[in-house]
Chain A
Amino acid sequence: MRLITLTFTCAVFIACNHRTKENGTSPWPASFHIGRPATPAEIAAWDIDIRPDGAGLPPGAGTAASGKPVYMAKCAACHGTGTEPLNAKLPGPALMNDSAGSDFRRLKTLGNYWPYATTIFDYVRRTMPYNAPGTLTADEVYSLTAYLLFANKIIDEETVMDARSLPKVNMPAKHLFIPDNSTGGPEIR
């Protein structure tokens, strides 16, 4: 019986969209007092995301010059060096390619398809290298990001990438992205 009452309360609650309303059942309390407060240290340990405005970028820095040896040692085996033919089969997706250049219809690369440079930092830090995810230091990730931007001809070899400069990098593909604001309906889109 208790269970049934609980389920019903919940259904009513959803129907009136998270407002507490008396409708033949008991209203929800302001808080269930379930769960515990998160400590700042806990949040810091997991909060690894980087926003396009740079929020979340850690201290550290790197350049293409410092990134190249790291890339060659830890990434090139799977992602190539950008000189492969367009149809080359690599263990990981191509990240740059001299023949594709700015044309993503030939081959998608960071240079011709990625709208934000911050995404490179976020993604590489959270999950690359594929065989040892999450093992890179902040300096290594800044250096690799700088190298990948340089290899895609977006920044030059000496430009330092850090928390201030990275969000300012202008990605060539950014203007191509449009949000799909569809809300359903008959139109074929």
Chain B
Amino acid sequence: MNKKKISRRTLLGGAATAAVVLFKSSYGKMIQAAIPESALLTDDPTKIQGPPPGKVGTRSPFEHPVKKPSDISSRTPLQDLYGTITPSDLHYERHHGGVPAIDPHQYELLIHGMVDKPMVFTLADLKRFPSVSRICFLECSGNFRGSKETLMPQEVCGLTSQSEWTGVMLSTLFREVGVQPKASWFLAEGSDAAVMTRSIPVKKAWDDAMVVYAQNGEAIRPEQGYPARLLLPGWEGNTSVKWLRRIELSDQPYMTREETSKYTYPVKDRIRQFSFGMDARSIITYPAFPQQVEKGWIEIRGIAWSGWGKIAKVEISTDNGKSWHPARLQEPVLDKAHTAFRYLWQWDGNTTAIMSRATDETGYTQPTLQQLIAARGADMGGYHLNPVTAWVIQRDGKVLFRPEKWK
């Protein structure tokens, strides 16, 4: 069918009423950017020509997954996702000075300090080095809320997301500049208004740290550090400094505000600092608040992850923690990655609580809040909390979060 036969009215019909973007390119061609509302209004999609192929795809106008922003962060809608890759525009955000606008042609990464050759790399330089892709999660270490019943998974722990990242191994760059044997820490600095800085042990660079410029097949999104960021798989999100502009090698940590005043927490009568690894954790994303379920077969679904390695098992309890049964893990189970789990359950219609508990390959099992309090004291603060959580299923099928208060 000839595109010219689609009348201008049909094409623009929806534009007046919806956020439909059909526009004329400079070549006079109609460009599709969304299915027009007029197409949605027909009873029978087989009786009307749809819009032509387009340059950029869009979500179905029936789907509205959204992040939940506050002044300082924005949370991934875990309950709306399938599988384990977070769509890039739904990746959680936490930043301390807003999202900077950086021209990729002006971008430079400086590496200096205890190195043989202090060097500057442009974005094009970074892309010329041997590249690597890996899938791993990122998680803010301040990722637990549990104060009330009406919390969605997104609100409980939506400060975690997963992407396939592509970039250069930091070890490749460190080899290029000649990191001196005495260098034991490096400072990573961003070019946002917070000029974010964290001190990182050099060992992480030799293990698995990367400087990444791509996320899920395209350039990193501005909110995730465009045009390039540090990526420290499994470590608290703040250390994966976004909009990375500078790395300085040193023989000691810098004791920046983000590793002294923040991202530290009281443990008994001391303050614990440099907690890098994210401990194993899981969350049931279905059924969860605000869903209402029916008696009968329910596939309990969720994700589990550990910053120390692979998830070894996830156990499910459907009787408020009395008994636990292994869930099925979706292959491939990756290192330091969100891992999907499923457990088939027949609900008899009685009030109960369902829970999940993750164990990683280092033998660590996700603790209860009580176990965390026993280890750290009741004044433990809000960082690195990964407790087992429960969804209460009421007789009417309504699902509520079971509040976990510790103060």
Contact = CB atoms under 8 A, between A and B. Distances in A.
B271 A176 contact: yes
Contacts of A9: 130
A49 to B, nearest CB: 6
Interface in B101-148: 110-112, 117-122, 125, 128-132
Given A6-B130, A178-B273, A182-B277, A35 B120 contact: yes
A47 B110 CA distance: 10
Interface of A is mostly: loop
A28 to B, nearest CB: 8
Nearest to B257: A123
Interface string A79-101: 00000000000000000000000
Interface string B252-287: 101111001100101101111111110000000000
Contacts of B277: 182-184
B195 interface: yes
Interface string A32-54: 10111110001100111111110
B6 interface: no
Could you say which interface size class chain A belongs to? 35 or more
A43 B60 CA distance: 49
Nearest to A186: B363
Contacts of A110: 261
Nearest to A48: B195
Contacts of B49: none
B270 A177 contact: yes
A189 B275 CA distance: 11
Interface stretch (B11-19, B32-40, B50-58, B364-372): B364-372
A10 B167 CA distance: 12
Contacts of B130: 6-7, 9-10, 13, 28
A134 interface: yes
A152 B374 CA distance: 33
Interface stretch (B23-31, B152-160, B243-251): B243-251
Contacts of B248: 47, 49
B195 A180 contact: no
A152 to B, nearest CB: 13
Nearest to A115: B260
Given A10-B130, A37-B118, A177-B271, A127 B193 contact: yes
Contacts of B273: 177-180
A185 interface: yes
B187 A38 contact: no
Contacts of A38: 110-112, 118-120
A46 B121 contact: no
A64 to B, nearest CB: 21
Nearest to B109: A35
A72 B131 CA distance: 51
Contacts of A42: 110, 120
Contacts of B161: none
Nearest to B119: A35
Contacts of A177: 260, 264, 270-271, 273
A104 B271 CA distance: 11
B128 to A, nearest CB: 5
A49 B252 contact: no
Interface in B168-193: 169, 171-172, 174-176, 187, 189, 193
A43 B274 CA distance: 27
A42 B121 CA distance: 13
Nearest to B120: A38
A70 B314 CA distance: 56
Nearest to A189: B375
A49 B197 contact: yes
Contact of A105 (B132, B250, B266, B372): B266
A31 B172 CA distance: 10
Contacts of A50: 254
Contacts of A123: 256-257
Contacts of A46: 110, 189, 245-246
A23 to B, nearest CB: 15
A162 interface: no
A10 B132 contact: yes
A74 interface: no
B226 interface: no
B112 A184 contact: no
A148 B370 CA distance: 38
A185 B195 contact: no
Contact of B189 (A6, A11, A49, A188): A49
Contacts of B197: 49, 122, 126
A137 interface: no
A118 interface: yes
19 contacts: A7-B131, A11-B132, A13-B130, A18-B174, A31-B176, A32-B176, A35-B120, A36-B119, A43-B118, A47-B248, A49-B189, A49-B256, A51-B252, A113-B261, A113-B271, A119-B256, A127-B97, A186-B365, A188-B367
**3 closest A-B pairs by CB:** A184-B308, A10-B130, A123-B257
Interface of B: 96-97, 110-112, 117-122, 125, 128-132, 169, 171-172, 174-176, 187, 189, 193-195, 197, 206, 245-246, 248, 250, 252, 254-257, 260-261, 264, 266-267, 269-277, 308-309, 360, 362-365, 367, 371-372, 374-376, 379
Given A13-B130, A179-B273, 4 more contacts: A13-B172, A14-B132, A49-B187, A188-B371
